[in-house]
């Protein structure tokens, strides 16, 4: 269900490529020399302790931040983003989806809006002001907006960070259904349980560096990097520079 | 006794009183409309663009919110007087001159306040709009629409300021009876003449209009909270 690669013999074309990409804010190196390619397939989960650079890497991949050095190669028209706390436009649920469709240059008719809302189970709230929705409903609306663009890659930055278990499940169901339909999911989380439930592959970040990339099963059973081992063991992952 | 006469004037629908109120509303509404278009455009432009000298312009705009009406009146008078650069238009001592003066007076208020509102909205929406690839013109329209309730409140504040000022319209309008006499200039004149019933009745109407405007602003805000979040 989670790995929908149809042709296992042919190497899939990368949807996204980062080559020695670094990000620096002032004198702080947020990301250092990240090299990776992301191709079609099961969900990729970005893990790492707080401050490891997960959100920055997502923004770099999405084009919301420009690399200080290195290259990021990604077609902006093929990607969508769901933030940890999505901003709801001050208008109805349906109008929020219509806005996203218009921004993507797609027809924003009732049928398209309803289809997008059906996908996330919010059709019955179509006329409600978006800002009056619960946190979980707002994240589902953000997913509807993002998916309405028919993205090849959907980036999600800890989309369930402040949601209760029922709302979290609703969001995870949508993410899994989207992955099953061929949308490449790239999601950050520091919920290890969620990473196990959703992940096909794990990228592990520590101190702004990509320290491990592995299939989810092998990452959780036998992490190779000392940082990932400490993280999965529930220990604090602190850099030597921070300790000194 | 003057108060009783004032209420009688209002209730009897005195033609002179109604003409003054009508002209006052026409001048102030026209000025608010023009200043709204200019001020919102300038505010949106300043909020969404970066250019050298922008900070200086923002500071100047904020300072101009406190423009003294008599100074505005003097400048417009000099510009429109026969020997002034715009004297050929022949607008001095006309309602149009009063509209120009009030527009100059409230445009900085509308521009400075809307710049702040739109900038705050932009800070909130920026990442989301960038992620959605929202084109430039669509961004501006969406920000103005989503900020509509705050912007309406700003327009009402501009209307209130224009309706209440006396110095500028007195200088450029000349307070000509039946032609450029508005509520504030009439109140000043009638008080000095000792015709207190007319001055009081105009004062009551002016305050009533201000109450209505502020009640409208409050209602718009409450409605927005309930219906648009």
pLDDT at A27: 86
Pairwise CA distance, residues B189 & B195, whole Å: 9
Give the residue carrying structure tokens 């000022």: B165
Q: At what angle do helices A93-103 and A135-147 cross, to 10 degrees?
A: 30
ipTM of the complex: 0.84
CB A101 within 8 A of CB A110: no
User: B-chain residues within 8 Å CB-CB of A129?
Assistant: 227-229
Compute the Cα dihedral for B96, B98, B100, B106 and give only its sign.
negative
Q: Hey, are the CB atoms on B228 and A86 less than 8 Å from each other?
A: no
Mutate to test the interface with B, among A74, A89, A97, A150 (most CBs of B within 10 A): A89
CATH number at residue B34: 1.10.3720.10
Nearest chain A CA: its distance from B47 CA (Å):
18
Q: Hey, are the CB atoms on A103 and B130 less than 8 Å from each other?
A: no
Tens of pLDDT, residues A98-133 = 999 999 999 999 999 999 999 999 999 999 999 999
Tens of pLDDT, residues A176-205 = 999 999 999 999 998 999 999 999 999 999
Nearest chain B CA: its distance from A83 CA (Å):
8
Q: Is the pLDDT of residue A3 over 60?
A: no
Nearest chain A CA: its distance from B218 CA (Å):
18
Pairwise CA distance, residues A55 & A31, whole Å: 10
Buried b (16+ CB within 10 A) or exposed e, B89-127: eebbbbbbbbbbbbbbbbbbbbbbbbbbbbbebbeebeb
Strand partners, A156: A82, A187
Q: Is the pLDDT of residue A18 over 60?
A: yes
Q: Is the pLDDT of residue A63 over 80?
A: yes
Instruction: Tell me the percentage of chain A whose pLDDT exceeds 70.
Output: 93
Instruction: State the fold for domain A30-87+151-243.
Output: Rossmann fold (3.40.50)
Burial classification of residue B64, based on how many CB atoms lie within 10 Å of its CB (0-12 exposed, 13-18 middle, 19 or more buried)? middle
Token pair of B188, please?
Answer: 């000043």
Least confident of A53-57, A235-239, B20-24, B46-50: A235-239
Q: Hey, are the CB atoms on B133 and A103 less than 8 Å from each other?
A: yes
pLDDT at A4: 41
User: B-chain residues within 8 Å CB-CB of A63?
Assistant: 130
CB A86 within 8 A of CB A119: no
Token pair of A35, please?
Answer: 């090299």
CB B153 within 8 A of CB B221: yes
Q: 3-state class of A51 per DSSP?
A: coil
Residue of B nearest to A60 (CA): B131
Q: Hey, are the CB atoms on B228 and A103 less than 8 Å from each other?
A: no
Least confident of A18-27, A33-42, A57-66, A233-242: A233-242
Q: Hey, are the CB atoms on B131 and A80 less than 8 Å from each other?
A: yes
Candidates B128, B130, B227; nearest CB to A86: B128
User: B-chain residues within 8 Å CB-CB of A91?
Assistant: 145-146, 228
User: A-chain residues within 8 Å CB-CB of B220?
Assistant: none
Token pair of B66, please?
Answer: 């406190």
Pairwise CA distance, residues A223 & B56, whole Å: 56
**Strands A184-188 vs A44-47: parallel, antiparallel or unpaired:** parallel
Candidates A76, A77, A89; nearest CB to B146: A89
pLDDT at B4: 67
Listed in sequence order, the DSSP H helices in B13-88 are 15-48, 54-64, 69-80
Angle (CA) A202-A206-A207 rounded to 5° is 155
Compute the Cα dihedral for B125, B126, B127, B128 and give only its sign.
positive
Token pair of B1, please?
Answer: 């006794």
Nearest chain A CA: its distance from B213 CA (Å):
24
Nearest chain A CA: its distance from B117 CA (Å):
14
Pairwise CA distance, residues A1 & A3, whole Å: 6
pLDDT at A46: 97
Residues of chain B with pLDDT under 50: 1
Instruction: Tell me the percentage of chain A whose pLDDT exceeds 90.
Output: 82
Single out the residue of B180, B168, B181 nearest to residue B79, CA to CA. B168
Cα A2 to its chain centre, rounded Å, is: 15
Single out the residue of B106, B117, B114, B115 nearest to residue B35, CA to CA. B106
* Beta-sheet strand order (sheet of A44-47): A79-82, A153-157, A184-188, A44-47, A201-206, A209-215
Q: How many distinct structural domains can be found in chain B?
A: 1
Report the length, in residues, of chain B: 229
Candidates B124, B125, B127; nearest CB to A64: B127
């Amino acid at each position: 269900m989670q790995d929908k690669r149809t042709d296992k013999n042919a190497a899939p074309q990368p949807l996204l490529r980062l080559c020695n990409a670094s990000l620096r804010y002032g004198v702080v190196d947020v990301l250092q020399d990240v090299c990776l390619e992301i191709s079609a397939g099961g969900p990729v989960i970005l893990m790492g302790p707080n401050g490891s650079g997960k959100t920055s890497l997502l923004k770099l991949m999405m084009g919301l931040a420009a690399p200080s050095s290195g290259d990021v190669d990604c077609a902006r028209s093929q990607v969508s983003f769901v933030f940890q706390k999505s901003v709801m436009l001050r208008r109805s649920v349906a109008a929020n989806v219509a806005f996203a469709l218009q921004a993507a240059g797609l027809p924003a008719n009732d049928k398209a809006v309803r289809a997008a809302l059906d996908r996330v189970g919010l059709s019955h709230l179509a006329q409600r002001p978006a800002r009056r929705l619960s946190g979980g409903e707002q994240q589902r609306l953000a997913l509807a907006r993002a998916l309405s663009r028919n993205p090849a890659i959907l980036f999600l930055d800890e989309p369930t960070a402040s949601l209760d278990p029922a709302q979290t499940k609703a969001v995870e169901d949508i993410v899994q259904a989207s992955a099953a339909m061929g949308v490449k999911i790239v999601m950050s989380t520091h919920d290890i349980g969620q990473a196990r439930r959703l992940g096909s592959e794990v990228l592990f970040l520590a101190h702004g560096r990509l320290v491990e990339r592995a299939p989810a099963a092998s990452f959780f059973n036998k992490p190779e990097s000392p940082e990932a081992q400490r993280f999965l063991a529930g220990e604090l992952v602190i850099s030597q520079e921070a300790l000194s | 006794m003057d108060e009783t006469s004032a209420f009688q004037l209002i209730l009897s629908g005195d033609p002179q009183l109604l003409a003054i109120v009508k002209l006052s509303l026409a001048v102030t509404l026209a000025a608010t409309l023009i200043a709204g278009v200019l001020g919102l455009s300038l505010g949106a432009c300043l909020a969404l663009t970066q250019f050298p000298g922008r900070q200086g312009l923002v500071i100047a705009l904020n300072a101009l919110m406190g423009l003294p009406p008599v100074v505005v009146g003097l400048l417009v008078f000099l510009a429109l007087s026969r020997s002034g650069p715009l004297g050929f238009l022949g607008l001095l001592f006309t309602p149009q001159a009063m509209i120009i003066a009030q527009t100059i007076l409230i445009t900085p208020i509308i521009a400075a306040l809307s710049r702040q509102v739109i900038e705050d909205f932009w800070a909130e929406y920026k990442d989301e709009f960038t992620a959605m690839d929202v084109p430039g013109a669509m961004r501006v329209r969406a920000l103005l629409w989503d900020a509509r309730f705050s912007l309406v409140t700003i327009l009402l504040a501009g209307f209130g300021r224009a309706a209440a000022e006396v110095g500028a319209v007195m200088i450029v309008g000349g307070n000509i009876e039946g032609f450029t006499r508005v509520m504030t200039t009439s109140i000043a004149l009638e008080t000095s003449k000792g015709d207190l019933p007319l001055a009081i009745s105009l004062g009551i109407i002016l305050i009533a209009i201000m109450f209505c405007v502020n009640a409208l602003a409050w209602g718009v805000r409450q409605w927005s909270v309930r219906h648009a979040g």
